[in-house]
Amino acid sequence: MLGIGCNGGMSASPATKGLTYRDAGVNIDAGDEVVDLIQPVLKRTHSSRVLGRHGAFAGMFQLDFSKKSMRRNYKRPVLVACTDGVGTKVLMAAERRVYDSVGIDCVAMNVNDLIVQGAEPLFFLDYLGLSKLQPAETSAMITGVARGCEIAGCALLGGECAEMPDIYKPGDFDIAGFCVGVVEYDNIIDATRVKKNDVIIGLESSGVHSNGYTLVRRIVRDAGLDLNAKYADLGERTLCEILLEPTRIYAKSIVKLVESFRKKKSISGMAHITGGGLPGNVCRALPKNLDAVIEKASWTPPAIFPFLQQCGGVEEAEMFRVFNMGIGYTIIARPKYAQSMMKKLKRSGENPSIIGFVEKGSGEVRMK
């Protein structure tokens, strides 16, 4: 007997084997394999504050811990949360089949935002959407996320891998993250702290980081650049290796710095330099009556930036508006403590420099 098809018309005789989820493009077994592969790397990011078991429906994190050596003793804790992705850098990573570095990028884009308020990153969740779940490639992406969490000092508490062949083209994927941290209410860093004559300390970026890749890819295409090539102006690494260098994670350095200078309240503002560059991000740390003056001659941008500028015919103002130009994070500080802060940052592995100062104005950033 003929049945009624899903389109409302007459259907053909049923096949001898029923339609499966795998036939439709989703492989549950591959997903289970990924879960098994990533379990050890997740556990490396966990401390005694992580509760529950692997594979639960949600992760749990204890804000305080009972052992005396682990107590945080928050009197008025404020939770801080943010979410971000890696942007079109994933297209270059997918094209070159490089999967681990974008996981680090994903963590960096979140935790570097979170620490600006003076918060300590606590835990991280990731979301991965892709066309086809390949266990080795997918676990490499999540291993990158776990590595980023280790660098940042936060727990990878869980995540989601969504295999969606109807949305993503073969080989395409996207990755996003969600981070939660905590800060004592009295230690929140905001623009009200900033004063005239404060100095601006810049921390080096590791390169382009994870912003401006739509322009980067356009320059590569229009200039006919070879991602596999080594260019004399860029040193011994290929162009692809330089452009896929993971975003630098500043979390541990900044958390240590904030704790060291907490009582003095000598850190008056911070900014993560992402899309919009220095002009579009340092202004977010300023009150309405003060300006930041950034002295461009105070540091030398990495070679990749003049290389992209020349190959793309991009004006300097546009370069500073799109890219970090070699400064990935800034700290606004009282002049009295600037040198001691820089010594502390150097001990944490950073290479800081004073790149500007604060003066009367209207909440803007002026490149000098």
Please work out, in degrees rounded to the nearest 5, the angle formed at the alpha carbon of residue 85 by the alpha carbons of 82 and 89: 155
Q: Give 127-170 as a DSSP string.
A: EEEESS--HHHHHHHHHHHHHHHHHHT-EEEEEEEEE-TTTSPT
pLDDT tens by residue, 143-182: 999 999 999 999 999 888 899 999 999 999 999 999 999 9
Beta strands in the chain (DSSP E): 50-51, 60-61, 77-85, 120-130, 155-163, 173-184, 199-204, 267-272, 290-294, 327-333, 352-360, 365-367
What pLDDT shows up at residue 63? 75
* Residue 5 scores a pLDDT above 80: no
pLDDT tens by residue, 200-252: 999 999 999 999 999 999 999 999 999 999 999 999 999 999 999 999 999 99
Tracing tokens 């590569």 back to the chain, one arrives at 220
* Residue 281 scores a pLDDT above 80: yes
Question: Which domains are delineated in the chain?
Answer: 25-51+63-187 (3.30.1330.10), 191-367 (3.90.650.10)
| Cβ–Cβ < 8 Å for 133, 34 | yes
pLDDT tens by residue, 289-345: 999 999 999 999 999 999 999 999 999 999 999 999 999 999 999 999 999 999 999
* Residue 71 scores a pLDDT above 70: no
Tracing tokens 């975003």 back to the chain, one arrives at 247
What pLDDT shows up at residue 2? 34
What pLDDT shows up at residue 22? 67
Indicate the DSSP class of residue 10. B
The whole-chain average pLDDT of the chain stands at 88
What CA–CA distance (Å, rounded) separates 85 from 83? 7
Residues 6+ apart with CB under 8 A from 368: 293, 294, 295, 296, 356
Please work out, in degrees rounded to the nearest 5, the angle formed at the alpha carbon of residue 284 by the alpha carbons of 335 and 212: 110
| Cβ–Cβ < 8 Å for 367, 278 | yes
- How large is the average pLDDT for residues 264-286? 96
pLDDT tens by residue, 77-96: 889 999 999 999 999 999 99
pLDDT tens by residue, 98-122: 999 999 999 999 999 999 999 999 9
Q: How far is CA 201 from CA 104, 190, 288, 292, in A?
A: 24, 16, 20, 12
Orientation of helix 135-152 relative to helix 101-114, angle to 10°: 30
Read off the tokens for 175: 């990755």
What pLDDT shows up at residue 7? 42
pTM across the whole model: 0.86
Higher pLDDT, 280 or 51: 280
- Provide the percentage of residues in the chain whose pLDDT is more than 70: 83
